[in-house]
Amino acid sequence: MNRVQTFFEHLWQDYTVRLCPSAAKVHALLEEGQPLINDHIALRTFNLPKTGLDRLAAPFIALGYEPKGEYVFESKKLYARHFELPGTEAPKVFISELMVGQCSNELQQTVRALVDQIPDEALDDHAFLYHGRQWQLDFDTYKKLAAESEYAGWLAAHGFGANHFTVSVNQLSTFEHVVDVNNALRKAGFDINMSGGEVKGSPDVCLEQSSTMADKVDVAFTDGIHAIPGGFYEFAKRYALPSGELYHGFVEASANKIFESTDSE
């Protein structure tokens, strides 16, 4: 395994153990005798000096990744970028950050107090990306954060880790369309994210996506264990641009709905 594969293996272990135990079931349903190809993974953070998007991108930049598209989600107060490793089939990386300064004073104070608890050196070790939460949090504070921003609540509860992996539907032969994957998953008991329709995007924007609703996972808060939304699985089919090359970016309107896979409804 090369360094990139090893890094993704660590992210995968953390994701399947801590955030999305049903990932194994997704693989069993879709695998066709060879490993599934990952289109991309996604990470979330707070845009404070210690934890901004660049901080999360650093381990990928060190592996040779380059920044590509930029995305803004005004209503959710999020900014995002995606990164690619040129000349390879390595998964793309989608990193978003909550614009903390645009949130209520109460949320800002709470989030700053959480981030202040991260030991200064902790984020220099690239392994922080799959080491979860590095602060104390009680369940009431989680609920207050989530009431203002589901994203803030999710991130405060889980900390750092891949919130989803994404099967490349282009590679599958049993399933041609994203909707075919959805149907198979539904039959197997999965909830599909229906926000904005079960398939987000279209061949016109060169990208179709869907996702499961996040697994409910037990999280240890300072005052007890509670089950809350964890990680989810995504499915993406890419179409060719007029140049003949597959589209490699993301689509804001679709991404806006994919974020809602971790809503608690």
Binding footprint of ligand OOG on the chain (CB under 6 A)? 42, 44, 94, 96, 163, 209, 234, 250, 254-255, 258-259
Least Å distance, CB 147 to Ni ion, is 25
* Cβ closest to ligand OOG, residue 128 vs residue 165: 165
CA distance 148 to 161: 22
Q: How far is the CB of 76 from ligand OOG (least distance, A)?
A: 10
Structure tokens at 196: 């904005």
- From the list ligand OOG, Ni ion, none, which binds 163 (C-beta under 5 to 8 Å, kind-based)? ligand OOG
Closest distance of CB 224 from ligand OOG, Å: 26
Residues that bind Ni ion (CB under 5 A): 42, 234
3-state secondary structure the chain: CCHHHHHHHHHHHHHHHHHCCCHHHHHHHHCCCCCCCEEEEEEEEECCCCCCHHHHHHHHHHCCCEEEEEEEECCCCEEEEEEECCCCCCCEEEEEEECHHHCCHHHHHHHHHHHHCCCHHHHCCHHHHHCECCCCCCHHHHHHHHHHCHHHHHHHHHCECCCEEEEEHHHCCCCCCHHHHHHHHHHCCCCECCCCCCCEEEHHHCEEEEEECCCEEEEEECCEEEEEECCEEEEEEECECCCCCECCCCCHHHHHHHHHHHCCC
| CB 53 to ligand OOG: min, Å | 12
In this complex, which beta carbon is closest to Ni ion, that of residue 60 or of residue 142? 60
Q: Among residues 175 and 233, whose Cβ is nearest to ligand OOG?
A: 233
Nearer to ligand OOG, 38 or 110 (CB): 38
Residue nearest to ligand OOG (CB): 255
Give least dist CB 39 to Ni ion, A.
Answer: 8
CB-nearer residue toward ligand OOG: 149 or 209: 209
Given the complex with ligand OOG, which of 14 and 109 has the nearer CB atom?
A: 14
CB 250, min distance to Ni ion, A:
7
